[in-house]
Structure 1
Amino acid sequence: MAHDKLAVLIDADNARPAIVEGLLAEIAKYGTAHVKRIYGDWTKPDLNGWKEVLLRHSIQPIQQFRYTVGKNATDSAMIIDAMDLLYAERFDGFCIVSSDSDFTRLASRIRESGLTVYGFGERKTPEPFRTACDKFIYTEVLAGTAATAEAEAAPKQRSAKELRGDTHLMNLLRGAIEAASDDTGWAGLGAIGSIINKQSPDFDSRNYGYAKLSGLIKGIGLFDAEERHIGNGKHIYVRQRIAKK
């Protein structure tokens, strides 16, 4: 996956410069950004904060004038460019950075072509866009990696009691472990994560204050985990903790 060719398209009206460093580091986990474009009306002073960030990270600004008040020409320009890049058949996936539901159909269309869509947006992002992506990452967890005041917005680590009281989280984990488990009840962490992501594209252990899924599972305290050496690698296996009689 790390060799996937990705196109990164950013909606400047719905993203903040503070997330860019964390954003590009996150994207590097999934592939290489061969195209990095950001869309907005660069004649407007509210986008001035982007200039230094764009130069430092070689992101190409695309000018889109606001021809009519109340109409978002930026969205249209992004969608047109995305379709052009899709038809060029040079990419394995797209990264759409916006909190705007207008990109829901675009994400669905790209996936229909067999490409992977990674969405990035704030927690206010409407559910239709989040679920239209293969994976959706909240930008609050990315801002938390930057040395800015926005780091305060990064999710705090939840206690075991809080995690156990999250019915949606517990049902998601238990269901994935059961689906991925073998006859002995043990399930590989990678398979668990894959099942969870298919069911809930916006799931991310960092939303609960844990860097990795393994840490989140251990933090709950209701599951057993063990490390196994398979081939040349180490793999973590998890199972529901068996109550002692």
Structure 2
Amino acid sequence: MLDCDNVPTEIVEHALRMGAQFGRVVVRRGYGNHATLSNKWQDVLVRQAFTPCLQYQYASGKNTADIALALEALEALFDGRADTFCLVTSDSDFSYLCRKLRERGATVCIVGEPKTPDALRNACDQFFEWDRSAKEASEDGEAVEPETPKTGAAKEEISRTDGKPLPKRRPLFLVEAVTLLAGDASEGKVRLDALGQYLKRTDPSFSPNLYGHSGLLNMVKTYDLLTTQREETGGWSVGLAPKTSTATQSS
């Protein structure tokens, strides 16, 4: 649930990635007033398949959108449509809503900016911070891994999709996904099929072919920051590569 009056549009993709680790994001709604939803939020909500929830301000200074968000969150809990909630806001006014949802057995996570007050951070089960200044993007807006390829030739490798050559790319969101999913696992790794399902939940159009790779395993193997392991029970798992100290590298 997006508090469109309180957060920037750029936070949405990060919020979807954070929320997808809990399962399918089935209720997508963005709340705001006419001035908010008629501007750039309109394009984002349409593109990301969110239902816009327009709330007019009946009096100056009254935020009816916040009340609508809170009421519909409780309604979704009580009628059994959801038991996990992801609120995208930095507004501490939602602290009480978080506490009430958790008292009823729901899991609540918050995606907010660094300015988010402690009252809201501590009221949820998990807080995910989004920092605009920390986001690195390429010219087309895609975050890319800053690490250099293992070999110069690897950077120049291409594959073909629909007869057209595509350069092999290594988007940073794949490393972020493994970090998120493997970080909560005792073994420090995530199964490849589970990683693929998570990537599909965050972006239904995701395909390794779009980044020049024939499959997800081949794509993962091009990352210096990731390791793969063949499991005895079958299938593959993915984890973060151990960091090598400067002293070890120089020896």
What TM-score comes out, normalization by structure 2 length?
A: 0.55
Q: 1:28 to 1:142 in 2, by over 3 A?
A: farther
Deviation at 1:146, TM superposition (A): 5.7
User: What code does the residue aligned with 1:76 have?
Assistant: I
**Aligned mate of 1:18, from 10, 13, 28:** 10
1:114-148 deviations in whole A, cap 9, x for unaligned? 11111111111111111111111112279826658
CA contact (8 A) 2:37 2:52 kept: no
Q: Quote the Cα distance in structure 2 between the aligned partners of 1:189 and 1:59.
A: 28
**Aligned mate of 2:75, from 78, 81, 84:** 84
- How many residue pairs align between the two structures? 164
Q: 1:234 to 1:55 in 2, by over 3 A?
A: closer
Q: In the alignment, does 2:52 pair up with 1:61?
A: yes
Specify the SS of the correspondent of 1:137.
strand
Specify the SS of the correspondent of 1:91.
coil
**Aligned mate of 1:130, from 121, 124, 127:** 121
User: What code does the residue aligned with 1:118 have?
Assistant: C
Corresponding residue number in structure 2 for 1:111? 102
Q: Quote the Cα distance in structure 2 between the aligned partners of 1:14 and 1:192.
A: 38
Q: 1:192 to 1:102 in 2, by over 3 A?
A: farther
Corresponding residue number in structure 1 for 2:161? none
Deviation at 1:51, TM superposition (A): 1.2
Corresponding residue number in structure 2 for 1:35? 27
Tell me which protein shows more helix as a share of its residues. 1
CA contact (8 A) 2:84 2:107 kept: yes
Deviation at 1:45, TM superposition (A): 5.9
CA contact (8 A) 2:37 2:54 kept: no
Q: Quote the Cα distance in structure 2 between the aligned partners of 1:143 and 1:151.
A: 14
User: What code does the residue aligned with 2:72 have?
Assistant: D
- After superposing the two structures, state which structure 1 stretch, 63-72 or 113-122, moved more: 63-72
Structure 1 stretches lacking a partner, 5+ long: 1-8, 153-187, 194-226, 239-245
Q: 1:109 to 1:54 in 2, by over 3 A?
A: same
Deviation at 1:38, TM superposition (A): 0.7
What's the Cα RMSD here? 3.7
1:20-50 deviations in whole A, cap 9, x for unaligned? 22221222222111110111112x1685011
Deviation at 1:85, TM superposition (A): 0.9
Specify the SS of the correspondent of 1:20.
helix
Q: Quote the Cα distance in structure 1 between the aligned partners of 2:136 and 2:31.
A: 24
Structure 2 stretches lacking a partner, 5+ long: 144-182, 189-228, 243-251
Q: 1:78 to 1:45 in 2, by over 3 A?
A: closer
Q: Quote the Cα distance in structure 1 between the aligned partners of 2:37 and 2:46.
A: 17
1:145-160 matched pairs, under 5 angstroms: none
Deviation at 1:15, TM superposition (A): 1.3
Identity of aligned residues (%): 37
What TM-score comes out, normalization by structure 1 length?
A: 0.56
Specify the SS of the correspondent of 1:124.
coil
Corresponding residue number in structure 1 for 2:92? 101
